[in-house]
Chains A and B, each alone.
Chain A
């Protein structure tokens, strides 16, 4: 799969020791045998941060996991959202301050709270700008990369493989076929 360079580009191999330049870092290890192994340069991954400390990034990651909880979806996918939010905030002082203030409002120990407590906390802030922006970014980034696509089954780009005409667009067998009068024959040329 030729997606390494683009869509998972922000996940670096952890043995690249340059991340010390960042303010904070998020790291993780992909489970042995995970299909994600094919998408990443190594099993260990790291995200260098430009604005957030490691503790702030961990709190934000916990918030993102609470917004979109998929227990078996690897942290590497969630880390891409942290990376995107961190990168967005890096440009202007005001957005840096908004982001760090928003994370501070989650309170100490948010990342270690049980899920019920995190949900309760987020309910109180869900109409605010901080929550709204994190929610939107989560949906846009978390479900928009090959790690998530592999997890949920979406097969992504199809043009280079000739579409799905001969690759299962009509392979459903648990319901009857549609009469030709209400559909059409396969094109032959």
Chain B
């Protein structure tokens, strides 16, 4: 692997090695560009992944503290971990469950379709659906998504049999084993899923797509990738003209370094991406880099999330098998008669021990709480994943109370769910309970709001520089060689798990960067 010089002004710096950054590294090195890829975490491998959930959590998770405020559950139920994402090479693609639904046409025109909803900052995406769809198709081929392009669906697990029978009895029609970036057959040099049940701990067979063992090794093979793991970027610098000149970072030994760059792509997951822009304030950019619109960090979306558990008289053994291999798609529509705008997916989900009592139940303790866990063998589970509305007040700021080990303020998360989110949650969890009751559940349980696993919206795309941080290519309005390459750019959340959309937008952005660079405009 090459090591590019710190003063090499010709490299592209990418911050973050997950779905966005890892894919971007492959796309740009493939186009002949030199890339320095920064990752705050360590590099693991199929061999070092652990199927002890507690051990894996410590190995992969972004554990730096956050502060938080607002009215959402995690302030009370998960004070030290409001968001659950990764800090490791491959980012959150190491721990994701592989669900790859597309956003729907209505969802990227939310302002036009849902209307002007008070208390929400809805906007239409600056991209046509036909354009997005074209890139979805490229991304789905890249990731080998099941049920697309002739890739067979996953076989039905016990947990899915319960969801399927109940959902069909309720009259739902679009119920299947989900679109998954998990090999149902050997392909792309990786084997098929053997239903281990430990997607979240890192897939030990590599059947699940992760940039750790697909995009990043491909980029390394180009000879043009300099991957710097355990290196934490603290600041993006710029010249007097307002062009990014490189980044300041702490190397693995904690020593401050400065890497020059011709282009900077930020893909730190929406919370850390916003934090890095805010930390990069300067005399010219007084409120944070590329933040003249005051939109950096605002409109933080994390989906309407809730687990629904059904308890039966007979065993389910729901921990066996791919975690999210099932979905009910029928409610992913905009139908205001249900009492809310936007839609949701009901996705299959299982929770290991100890994750079930930590995030999968209503917050509590004592007999009632423990009696749910007593039924672990006879439990089926699903996850509500719905569109939450963007709000200017829901935002990432720099914490005034907590600092990281380098003395920099950590991210502060403020969330006040919109009434629409609460109405959707009530409807979705109710439908989930009905699915289980339709096949004889003797008890159903609805969780508190779990820590956020999908982070979006904190540097959103807009044609209007006053309304968004980036243009339709994720290129910041104010700093022409600074790109946002993760879920931060989503103008609205939609109900789709974000990874496929992140990859599709990054593939499109990489083509744009390649074209602009070749034309001498970058």
Contacts and interface: CB of A to CB of B under 8 A. Distances in A.
A68 B365 contact: yes
B158 A157 contact: no
A66 B366 contact: yes
A144 B353 contact: yes
Contact of B162 (A140, A164, A175): A175
B365 A144 contact: no
Nearest to A143: B354
Given A135-B365, A159-B204, A183 B370 contact: no
B319 interface: yes
Contact of A177 (B156, B320, B321): B156
Nearest to A164: B320
B282 interface: no
Nearest to B367: A69
A142 B354 contact: yes
Contacts of B185: 187
Given A68-B365, A139-B354, A184-B184, A174 B195 contact: no
Contacts of B156: 170, 177-178, 182-184
Interface string A130-161: 00000100011111100011001111111100
A178 B167 CA distance: 12
A69 B374 CA distance: 10
A186 B177 contact: no
A149 B185 CA distance: 31
Interface string B344-383: 0000000011101110000001110110011011000000
Contacts of A7: 52
User: Which of B164, B319, B365, B367 has the most chain A CB within a 10 Å cutoff?
Assistant: B365
Contacts, number: 159
Contacts of A128: none
Contacts of A119: 366
A183 B162 contact: no
B6 interface: no
A168 B158 CA distance: 8
Specify the main secondary structure of chain B where it touches its partner: loop
A184 B157 contact: no
Given A67-B366, A170-B158, A178-B164, A153 B146 contact: no
B196 A68 contact: no
Interface string B118-156: 000000000000000000000000000010000011111
A158 B51 contact: yes
A184 B177 contact: yes
B376 A152 contact: yes
Interface stretch (B21-29, B258-266, B297-305, B309-317): B309-317
B160 interface: yes
Contacts of A140: 54, 354, 358
A169 B177 CA distance: 14
Contact of A144 (B158, B175, B354): B354
A127 to B, nearest CB: 9
Given A140-B358, A189-B186, A183 B155 contact: yes
Contact of B51 (A153, A159, A168, A174): A159
B230 to A, nearest CB: 25
A165 B320 CA distance: 9
A170 B316 CA distance: 9
* Size class of the contact patch on chain B: 35 or more
A35 interface: no
A154 B351 CA distance: 10
B162 to A, nearest CB: 6
A119 B154 CA distance: 46
Given A140-B358, A143-B356, A189-B186, A184 B196 contact: no
Interface string B289-332: 00000000000000000000000001111011100000000000
Interface in A35-75: 66-70
Contacts of A67: 365-366
A2 to B, nearest CB: 12
A15 interface: no
Contact of B184 (A69, A159, A171, A187): A187
A168 B320 contact: yes
B197 interface: yes
A158 B154 CA distance: 19
Contact of B161 (A122, A139, A168, A170): A170
Contact of A182 (B52, B175, B319, B365): B175
Contact of B155 (A162, A168, A170, A172): A170
B409 interface: no
A156 B319 CA distance: 9
A22 to B, nearest CB: 24
A126 B365 CA distance: 10
Nearest to B162: A175
B333 interface: no
Given A68-B365, A153-B376, A175 B439 contact: yes
Given A69-B370, A158-B196, A169-B195, A143 B157 contact: no
A54 B473 CA distance: 64
B54 A144 contact: yes
Contacts of A168: 158, 317, 320
A170 B157 CA distance: 5
B522 interface: no
B196 A177 contact: no
A154 B353 contact: yes
A182 B164 contact: yes
A9 interface: no
Contacts of A122: 365
Which 7 A-B residue pairs are closest in the complex by CB-CB distance?
A163-B194, A184-B153, A143-B354, A164-B320, A178-B156, A169-B321, A172-B158
9 contacts: A68-B357, A122-B365, A139-B354, A153-B317, A159-B51, A164-B321, A169-B321, A178-B164, A187-B152
Interface of A: 6-7, 66-70, 119, 122, 126, 135, 139-144, 148-149, 152-159, 162-165, 167-172, 174-178, 182-187, 189
Given A119-B366, A153-B377, A189-B186, 15 more contacts: A67-B366, A69-B366, A155-B320, A156-B52, A158-B51, A159-B196, A165-B195, A168-B158, A169-B195, A172-B162, A178-B164, A184-B146, A184-B153, A185-B152, A187-B155
